[in-house]
Chains A and B, each alone.
Chain A
Amino acid sequence: MVNKIRISVVVQGTDASDLVLTPLIFKLEDVERARKLGVCGILAGTLPTAAQQNMFLSVPLKLMAEEAIWLFLSGHAEVVHLRSPTSSLIGNLIKENLESLQAANESKLQESFRLQRQFKVEQHRLKLESLGRLPPGGELPHDPQIDSLIDSSLFVETANSSSILSKLSSKQQQDGCIDAQIINCMIANYSNWDNYLLYQSLRENGYVLSPGARFGGLYIAYPGDPLRYHSHITVQPAIDYYKEGIDLTLLTSGARLGTSVKKMWVIGGVKNYGTKQEELRKPKAPADVSFFSIEWAGFG
C-alpha cells in the first residue's frame, strides 16, 4: 500500500475554539506527488544553494485550506495534527524515545559520512588517475592528510521531515473523527465551504489553482502545471447568485484588471436553497456550482 501524503498541521487552543495553523508538507516526495495530483501549494523555505532570492524556494510547502482538504477528502493524504503546546509534545517524545532516536540519528549520520567518504575518495582517485599520477584502476595509498581533509568537509544534513514525530503512537496519529473536525476548523479559520466547492469544481475540470489576491481574486486558475502555462482565469469568491448582487464598480475594475493582466474574470456561485446551517457545512453536489465570466468587450 502506498503511503499517503503527509500534511502536518498545528492546532492551537481547546477543542471548542480550535485555531489551525497553515497546513504544511515537508517531504519532497510528497510535494512531488501533490503536484502531480494538481496541488502545487507555495514553497516557503529558503533554498540554501540560492539563499538571497525569493522566487525559487524550498520546503515547507504551504497549502491553502482548500488544497489540504481536497487532498484529504480524495484519500491521497493524511493530516497529522499536533496540539500545542508542541514544545512539550516534542520534549516528551524525545524523553520517552531518547535512546532509539539517538541510535537512529547516529547510524544515519555515520552512514551518510561513509557514503560521502567513499564518494570523495573515489573522486580523488579519479582525479589522480586523470593526472596520470595513478595507473588506471590502481589502489589509492592511505594518506592521513587527505583523510582529515575529507573529514572536515563532511556534510551534516538538517533533514526536512521529522524523525521525532515518527515516534507518535499509532493511536495519536490515526484518528479519523478528529481529522474531520480539523477540516471544519481549517475551513472556518481561512475560507468557507462555498469557496471550497468552487475549488473542487474547478479541479474536476482539470484546472490547477493558486492563491489569487494579488490579481484581484480568490484564486487564479492554470490549465495545467504552472511550470508550463500562464494562468488565464481569476476566480472571485463565491456568491449566492440567486440573491446577492455584484457591485458594478468591482465588476468594472475586475474586468479592466483582467484585460490588463490577460486573465478572464470569473465569478462562481453556489445555489443555496435556504437549507439549515448544519447542512450548509457539508459539501454539496457539484451540480449546484455554476461559473460566469465577464469580459470587457470592444477593448480589442
Chain B
Amino acid sequence: MTEQLENEVFSQDGTIADSDVEEDELVQDWSQIAKIAKSNGALTIPKRGEKDYEPDGTDVQELLLYKARKELFDTLANSVRGSTVKAQVKALYVADRHGAVVPHARGNFLQTMGKVDFSDGQVWLSFYEFVYLSERGTVTPYWGGQSVAGENNDSLLPLSIEDLYILFKTQHELDNFAVYAHLRRLGFIVNPVSPSDTSFYPNCPSAPRTGVTSIYRAITSMFFLRKNSLFNNIFYKQWHYCFCKYTRTPQIYEKLKLLVPSISVPKTIEDLKGFYGSQQDYAEGQLTLTFNVWKPQTNFKKKHPPLPDYQVVVYNKNQRGAHFPTFDELQNIFRHLDYKFQFLSEVADDEFSWDDHSYIVGKPRSDVIASERKSKDKKDPKTPAKNPSAKKSKKRQLPPHIQQLQRLRNGYSSFLLAVIDNGIISFVRISQADFASENVWYVPPKDGLRKKPFNDRKKRAN
C-alpha cells in the first residue's frame, strides 16, 4: 500500500495528481506524505510532535500555515536517513577513485548499480550511486581514506550528507547528480554515457577512420539537401504559364517545393549509420550527452545492458556561459545519439528485434547474451528462453493520414534535455523533424466524377 501511495501524490482537494504533471500548479500538501513517512520510518523514536509551537492568536489563516509548516518539518525530521544494524551495508569513500568500495555488498540495488573491480574483486560504486544510495539509506557512508590502502575497518568514521555534497567537484557534477537522482527515484535505470556502452552501430565509434572513408562519409552524409532545380528560374516568371498548363494542384505544389532547400533527416538504419559517422567532437563548453536511461524493468543485465530507451543532456540554465544549444549544436548532439531509435520499430512491419541491432564491442548483443547463457547453463542445457518482454502486439493499422500526423508530431531521432533552474528540473524532448518529407496537400476531386458517399444522403435527411 505504501508503495502505491508513494507513486501517487495528493492534491489539495484530495484528488490524486501525477507527481510530475503540473506539480508546480499544486500547492504542496505534506499531510499525506507525513502519514506515509510515519509508517515507513525505520527509526521509531518519535523525534518531533511532542514539542509544540504556540500559534499566534486565533487567526485561522495563521493556524493553517502553522499546521502546514508543522507537517512539513515533522515529516523531514521523522525521515531519518540511515539503516538498521541488521540491514546495514557500509560504503567507504576513497578519495583517489572518487567512488566508494562496498566490502560486503548485498541488496537489490546491485541489480542496476555498482561494478565489480577485477583487481580487488570488490564492488565499487560510482560517486553518483554512492550519494544516491546514502540519501536513501540503502548504504551508510564512511570515510575510506585517500587511497585504497589501509584504513582499518574498526576506526571508520561515518560521513554525513553534508560531507558527501562537499565532495562534489564541479557544478556540472552536482547538476548531473540532480538529474540522476530525479530519474532514479522514479524507477528509471540511469548510467553515464561511456565509450564501452552497447551501441546501435556495429563499428566502434573510436575506430580509426581512414582518410578516404571519412571524406566519403562526410560528402554523402552532409548533403541531404533538396535539389535546386533549374526549373525554378522559369516557374517564377509569369510568362511560363503561357505554355505550362497545370491540370492538377499537386503539380503546382511540386514546383513551389523546389525553391527552398531543407535538411533531410535520417529515417532508416543506413541513414543513421552515415549520420553517426559524420559526428564531430564536442567543442569546449557545449552540451553533451550525459546519461543513458532505461525504463524501469526487471532482469536488467548490468554487464551488457540493452540499448537505452533515452539519452539525456543536462543543462543548467542559470550558469554563466551556458546557453540553449544552437541548431548546429543540436545537430551534433543528434549525430552522437546511440540508443533505441523507436521510430524504426514503428516503421517496420514485422517484429523488430533490438538485440540484433545492438552491438557490444562489435558483436551483436543477441550473440553475446546467448553465449553467456550457454556458459551458465553448461550443466543443464536448456533451450534459451525467449525474452519475455518481447510483446507480440498487433499494431492496429491506423489510416495513413493519421500515421502521417503522428510521424510529424513525434519526429525521428530524439534526446531529452534536462533543464535545471536553481534546483528545479524540467525535461524537454527534442526530436528531429522533416516536414519536407511529407506532402499534406489535398487534391480536390474533379467535378462531376465524384460519387457522393452513400451515407451523405442519409445525413441530409436528418
Contact = CB atoms under 8 A, between A and B. Distances in A.
A98 to B, nearest CB: 7
B76 A28 contact: yes
A164 B166 CA distance: 11
Nearest to B135: A46
Nearest to A89: B166
Nearest to A95: B146
A189 interface: yes
B186 A12 contact: no
A277 interface: no
| Size bracket of the A interface | 35 or more
Contact of B84 (A45, A89, A154): A154
Given A22-B171, A91-B95, A48 B166 contact: no
Contacts of B30: 56, 227
B141 A158 contact: yes
B64 interface: yes
A190 B79 contact: no
Contacts of B132: 46
Contact of B9 (A8, A53, A94, A105): A53
A90 B163 contact: yes
B249 interface: no
B88 A156 contact: yes
A175 interface: no
B76 A31 contact: yes
Contact of A48 (B69, B135, B160, B169): B135
Contacts of A64: 318, 422
Interface stretch (B38-46, B228-236, B260-268, B452-460): B38-46
Nearest to B426: A214
Contact of B187 (A35, A45, A52): A52
A63 B165 CA distance: 14
A164 B419 CA distance: 33
B124 to A, nearest CB: 16
Contacts of A41: 423
A237 B418 CA distance: 22
B33 interface: yes
Contacts of A91: 95, 143, 145-146
Contacts of A226: 27-28
Contact of B320 (A24, A189, A211): A189
Contacts of B406: none
A88 B134 CA distance: 21
Given A44-B178, A48-B79, A49-B78, A87 B185 contact: no
Q: Give the interface SS of chain A, mostly helix, strand, loop or mixed.
A: mixed
A47 B160 contact: no
B269 interface: no
Contacts of A42: 422-424
A158 B40 contact: no
Interface stretch (B17-25, B200-208, B328-336): B17-25
Given A19-B171, A50-B36, A228 B68 contact: yes
Interface string B140-184: 110101100000000101111111011111110010001001100
A122 B7 CA distance: 35
A288 interface: no
Interface in A42-76: 42, 44-56, 58-60, 62-65
Interface of B is mostly: mixed
Nearest to B177: A44
Contact of B73 (A12, A28, A86, A230): A28
Contacts of A46: 132, 135-136, 181, 185
A158 B84 contact: no
Interface string A78-103: 00001011111111001000100110
Interface stretch (A113-121, A248-256, A292-300): A113-121
Contacts of A45: 135, 161
A50 B424 contact: no
Interface string B185-207: 11100000000000000000000
Contact of A60 (B83, B141, B165, B170): B165
A229 interface: yes
B37 A101 contact: no
Contacts of A48: 40, 79-81, 135-137
B282 to A, nearest CB: 20
Contacts of B40: 48-50
A174 interface: no
B77 A86 contact: no
Given A105-B158, A155-B80, A86 B421 contact: no
A151 interface: yes
Contacts of B76: 28, 31, 47, 58-59
A228 to B, nearest CB: 5
B134 A158 contact: yes
Contacts of A86: 166-167, 169
Given A48-B81, A52-B7, A158 B423 contact: no
A257 B27 CA distance: 19
Interface of B: 3, 6-7, 9, 19-20, 23-25, 27-28, 30, 33, 36-38, 40-45, 61, 64-65, 68-69, 72-73, 75-86, 88, 95, 98, 132, 134-137, 140-141, 143, 145-146, 155, 157-163, 165-171, 174, 178, 181-182, 185-187, 317-320, 419, 421-426
24 contacts: A8-B162, A8-B166, A44-B178, A46-B185, A47-B76, A51-B6, A53-B19, A54-B20, A59-B161, A85-B169, A94-B157, A123-B44, A153-B86, A155-B80, A158-B81, A158-B137, A158-B158, A162-B163, A189-B319, A211-B422, A211-B423, A213-B419, A226-B27, A228-B61
Interface of A: 8, 10, 12, 19, 21-22, 24, 26, 28, 31-32, 35, 41-42, 44-56, 58-60, 62-65, 82, 84-91, 94, 98, 101-102, 105, 115-116, 119-120, 123, 151-165, 188-191, 210-215, 224-230, 261
